[in-house]
A and B are shown apart, each in its own frame.
Chain A
């Protein structure tokens, strides 16, 4: 596994988990 692949994998998971947690957090603030 190359370093760039590893970084890309981390990036994709970070975007998805980050997007999930951030939208959940924003909606909890909203309520």
Chain B
């Protein structure tokens, strides 16, 4: 096997990992979820799950990639045995399916950044503007633009493309978030917003929904189990410490989420405090869905603060950077798999770009299709996490700890805590999430919860997951054979 390209500096994987983890979910989901679940108590639970779910799964991912030097499918095949290759294929497919609609989201962010500057979005009716945009051809154009820029970065390779792009995107993103947070916190009555986020309301600890939302937010936000960090770990240095690097990425991602919450929630409170503020009004904004909050409410809110156009442009630029740094990771995940099958980078990335563009078109044209795919494959994260855990259990958590994560000759040792997490906490969290989700869906709509043709039912999720799993089980032998051919990074 030819030598892989590796990150040029120790910051390479840290920035790339942060780029993978910090995405639109930090900026548009975290502020929404934290305000719905009691602020301070939620933050405590969210911090706990960083240690019980996200860091262990990120550590497993990093160890898979570093040990095997193969993408998601090849790594599962090597660690779990060829019979489990289909699990890697499913994890990779979940990542690819997300990429198909995530490039559409990235396109929306680019559009809104430019529209803020050139079309004066802030003065317009944001609902009319959003509907006119999403029902036009423009989402397709901006989706194509996002894919083209992403492909150009990946085409340049690991050091000149991925590493260089993330070294620019991530520090810029954090700077933008800090500026946006400082601006928001210095608005009149902004302290009410901070009080709302950070008030340690201990009574919320008795609410099991708060704990489960904290778990899913931690998982979605850090990108644990997408297979993205596994892919970047293929290019890591031999002495890269899986636990320390995962911890750095996990905490860095959390800082981005906190800054986003400090930028959004105080702005909401400040605007409504000058307009006969009511708690219900704030909750109405914060309970809007991701698209509603970001593309309808945020332009409205920024229209009410001094220098609104400037700060709205800054907000959408941050969102664009966050989206791009994650899109790059998704494109690389699929590209790496083609490269493991023997293709060179340039050929692989062009095909991945074309596939991504074509498969993203339905989401670009239909918000209904977009929402269905977001629902089905967003939840696929839980499945991917279960597959990672199961593969480590098949391999043997003790053996995995001693032979895959630990490298005594390099000074890397991991304690027995890892085995306890794999045997007890990861399966427990997976089961609790699935049971809660089933119960919640059944109680909300007992008649339709298993309907296949509904856009957001349990039925449509199970159906699409099952089709993917059955296809990959049937193709297991063929895919396993092609997953670790001689490769050429040139």
Contact = CB atoms under 8 A, between A and B. Distances in A.
Interface string A2-16: 101110110011011
B43 interface: yes
Contacts of B40: 5, 8
B321 to A, nearest CB: 19
B194 A13 contact: no
B255 A17 contact: yes
Interface bracket on B: 20 to 34
B198 interface: yes
Interface stretch (B241-249, B295-303, B352-360, B457-465): B241-249
Contacts of A2: 195, 199
A18 B251 CA distance: 9
B14 interface: yes
Contacts of A6: 198
B187 to A, nearest CB: 14
A12 B43 contact: yes
A20 B239 contact: no
Interface string B388-416: 00000000000000000000000110000
Nearest to B50: A19
Interface residues of A, number: 21
A26 B254 CA distance: 19
A3 to B, nearest CB: 11
A26 B199 contact: no
Main secondary structure of the interface of B (DSSP, over half): helix
B71 interface: no
Contact of B10 (A8, A15, A17, A28): A28
Counting chain B CB atoms within 10 Å of each CB, the highest count among A4, A15, A26, A30 belongs to: A30
Nearest to B192: A1
Given A5-B195, A9-B194, A27 B10 contact: yes
A20 to B, nearest CB: 4
Contacts of B379: none
Contacts of A17: 251, 255
B251 A26 contact: no
Contacts of B14: 24
Contacts of A12: 43, 47, 198, 258
B362 interface: no
Interface in B186-200: 191-192, 194-195, 197-200
Contacts of B198: 5-6, 8-9, 12
B67 to A, nearest CB: 17
Contacts of B251: 16-17, 19-20, 23
B38 interface: no
Nearest to A26: B244
Contact of B258 (A1, A8, A16): A16
A1 B191 CA distance: 6
Contact of A5 (B200, B240, B248, B411): B200
A24 B252 CA distance: 10
Given A8-B40, A30-B412, A20 B199 contact: no
Given A5-B195, A31-B239, A20 B255 contact: yes
B200 A4 contact: yes
A6 B198 CA distance: 8
A5 B43 CA distance: 12
Nearest to B51: A19
A13 to B, nearest CB: 7
B190 to A, nearest CB: 9
A29 B255 CA distance: 23
Nearest to A30: B241
Interface of B: 10, 14, 40, 43, 47, 191-192, 194-195, 197-200, 237, 239-241, 244-245, 247-248, 250-252, 254-255, 258, 411-412
16 contacts: A2-B195, A5-B195, A5-B198, A8-B200, A9-B194, A9-B197, A12-B43, A12-B198, A13-B255, A15-B47, A16-B258, A23-B244, A24-B14, A27-B248, A30-B244, A31-B10
Given A1-B191, A19-B251, A27-B10, 20 more contacts: A1-B195, A2-B199, A5-B199, A8-B199, A9-B194, A9-B197, A12-B47, A12-B198, A13-B255, A13-B258, A15-B47, A17-B251, A19-B247, A20-B255, A23-B244, A24-B14, A26-B244, A27-B241, A27-B244, A31-B237
The 8 closest A-B pairs by CB, nearest first: A20-B251, A19-B251, A27-B244, A23-B247, A9-B198, A1-B191, A23-B248, A1-B195
